[in-house]
């Protein structure tokens, strides 16, 4: 019997494919690395990245739906204040994301034209 995995509503037979499908979406690793430091309100999170507000909201919704981020809403002075933070599940994923960041920093460095440095090519 084959085990099935679900990420963002899609079914997979490989847990690696399911995980990369989820965290490989544009802005998702950046959002998660930012939230790994501390919870953020939407506007503060938006100010840390170049994503549009619409895209940021869409990706936060994906992360919430998949249990990696939570949106804590609190009422203060007749206003609802939303704070986004990683869940326990999202925090457990961070070593993988940080390992990917380290690997990319070591092996994918290039200049602004897209040319790899001599050091990067010698390590390929």
pLDDT in tens, 45-103: 999 999 999 999 999 999 999 999 999 998 888 888 899 999 999 999 999 999 999 99
**Which residues, at least 6 apart from 41, have a Cβ–Cβ distance to it below 8 Å?**
81, 82, 83, 84
Position 97 scores a pLDDT of 95
Confidence of residue 111 (pLDDT cuts 50, 70, 90): confident
- Contact (CB, 8 A) for 115 and 106: no
Position 123 scores a pLDDT of 55
Confidence of residue 115 (pLDDT cuts 50, 70, 90): confident
Helix (H) or strand (E) holding 73: strand 69-76
pTM of the model: 0.84
- Backbone φ and ψ of 7, nearest 5°: -140, 125
């Amino acid at each position: 019997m084959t085990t099935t995995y679900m990420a963002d509503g899609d079914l997979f037979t490989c847990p690696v494919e399911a995980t990369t499908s989820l965290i490989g979406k544009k802005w998702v690793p950046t959002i998660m690395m930012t939230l790994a430091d501390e919870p953020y309100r939407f506007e503060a999170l938006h100010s840390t990245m170049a994503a549009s507000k619409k895209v940021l909201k869409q990706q936060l919704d994906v992360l919430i739906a998949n249990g990696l981020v939570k949106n804590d809403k609190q009422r203060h002075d007749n206003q609802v204040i939303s704070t986004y933070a990683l869940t326990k599940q999202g925090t457990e994923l961070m070593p993988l994301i940080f390992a990917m960041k380290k690997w990319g920093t070591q092996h994918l460095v290039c200049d602004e034209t897209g040319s790899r440095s001599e050091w990067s090519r010698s390590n390929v």
